[in-house]
Structure 1
């Protein structure tokens, strides 16, 4: 299939690719190379991982700290990439991202309230500690999406759902700022959450996100033909007999669950969900079924690459991974906009 087209990068005209399987294999290969590289990145810079495995102490660091962080970064990126592809297909907008339904703002408010409760009331702190910041973030994300659905009066109208998500995001974001203003002692912890971090990902987090990713991918792939029909227009999709209301409900649930799990574990990580589907479409024009899977793989590769850069660029100092993804993703989208403007 030709790469030339509106989203094709410069210099790729005439280049051909075997298809989705070839791209999936390439992404898995790149992901494997990045994973090996990630295992060797630490405070001292980049070290050959095979040398570290020969040392018992260094080997324990690799398997107990760097390996789960590597797997968790790939899983979180995969969740965001999948949610981004579903959101762009559902809203028929290439600029849609996984946070459009208010999940990011809800998660931020949940974490802010949990941190404030821990420092204000011992009684509140007791059950907040049991819930945990991860649980508070996930609960906040889910409740924000539920509020969006309530304001939109269900999932019948895509535009109303989109507008409700924007309103919920703005309001909850303002409430988060108010909580931080009234309890300034939580500012540092909130900054770490809002900039995103993979530093505290363990095997439990990685396995949880991989499980959630599989649970989201299965229904998304099962209903991918409905997204193909929706791409032709709302009226066309209805004329084809597609059950759009149930499809929207399932897709919104996929977006909420995927983004909620990723944000709860790794914080707010920008642009991965937005850029991953764009990069896939830049290489390969395909239906939604391969696009969803490839976007998930691309998201994992992007976040893993960003995590390596965040750890190794200024070692031993570590950059917030959300800053790196914003720079990489934002730079790519600006280049894409400029290129499309010149056509």
Structure 2
């Protein structure tokens, strides 16, 4: 089947992202027309569009309540999608995903420990640093278990990831159950299910910087990532120090996941589904696939968050539940497809 031109695909994905973002800002207990949303945004950019005709409270809703949340959704979705694509290349396994490999669970343990134990060693950076450390340790643990005793296989990697994720989830649950502060325990439990409620502009800059810089670095190493798809031996024969490169990329991915988990909780399967969809559209070359993955992941998570806010409004479904409902069947289909091959 012939693919559409790459620039056209990027334009379509960017248009979908803008549409999803506009819908995410417009929808809520106070519905806003799409045109008014853009009028408010352009007015804030100091563009000469005449005098505002909307109530001041609507501008507050758009700029201080909904826009930060939508932007954080885009950052988290893009980051998870890009990290999933990178992990699948690094371990040469199409089933790799930050949650399936225990990376998200490791970040969750670090973040929950900070929340429940009320730690503040590094001030506002304590939570992101703890999430990063947990994600990095979990990733190296899973990789070491999968490599132990011989060649790493798909089954061994998935089993090591699932087992590690379950143990780490149990540790996080233990920290919550034994907490002396019921309010903090309840907040940590809801946070573990994934969600972006209460997002402010202050929460946005750390994950945004981590995802932007991390994606830029991954784009810069697209060629080594492409080499790994051909196998470790072939990559080493072409001059790539596989172990050093893989270790450096593990640290980078853990940094991105830690920054994401610190603000969104554990959101699974985004890093599994989106890379496969992107490869169907643009192929496996990371120079083309990573930008497309970032755009598609951002649009997908904004749409998922919109559904989480709307399905049982005024109550809100944790977004991690929705991504699991869609991602679980996709994972089973992918395993069956791989087994058939």
TM-score of the aligned structures, taking structure 1 as reference length: 0.81
Q: Aligned partners of 2:86, 2:245: CA distance in 1, in Å?
A: 11
Q: Aligned partners of 1:152, 1:329: CA distance in 2, in Å?
A: 23
TM-superposed CA distance for 1:130, in Å, is 5.7
Q: Aligned partners of 2:174, 2:219: CA distance in 1, in Å?
A: 40
RMSD: 3.3
Q: Deviations over 1:197-248 (max 9, x none)?
A: 1112222333322221121122212221112121111111111222212321
Equivalent position of 1:9 in the other structure: none
2:23 to 33, 37, 41: 37
- Range that drifts further, 182-191 or 316-325: 182-191
CA, structure 1 residues 62+290, in 2 after alignment: closer, same or farther (shift >3 Å)? same
The reply on whether 1:307 has 2:305 as its aligned counterpart is yes
Equivalent position of 1:174 in the other structure: 170
Q: Aligned partners of 2:153, 2:334: CA distance in 1, in Å?
A: 25
Q: How do 1:72-91 residues align onto structure 2 when only pairs under 5 Å count?
A: 72-91=72-91
CA, structure 1 residues 234+337, in 2 after alignment: closer, same or farther (shift >3 Å)? closer
For the 8 Å contact 2:105–2:266, the answer to whether it is kept is: no
For the 8 Å contact 1:117–1:128, the answer to whether it is kept is: no
Number of residues paired by the alignment?
Answer: 321
Equivalent position of 1:202 in the other structure: 200
Equivalent position of 1:48 in the other structure: 33
What 5-or-longer segments of structure 1 have no aligned partner?
4-15, 119-124
For the 8 Å contact 2:99–2:269, the answer to whether it is kept is: no
For the 8 Å contact 2:24–2:66, the answer to whether it is kept is: yes
Q: Deviations over 1:105-153 (max 9, x none)?
A: 22222233234324xxxxxx66597666455434433454466678899
TM-superposed CA distance for 1:330, in Å, is 2.7
For the 8 Å contact 2:110–2:134, the answer to whether it is kept is: yes
What 5-or-longer segments of structure 2 have no aligned partner?
41-53
**DSSP-derived class of the 1:43 partner:** coil
TM-score of the aligned structures, taking structure 2 as reference length: 0.81
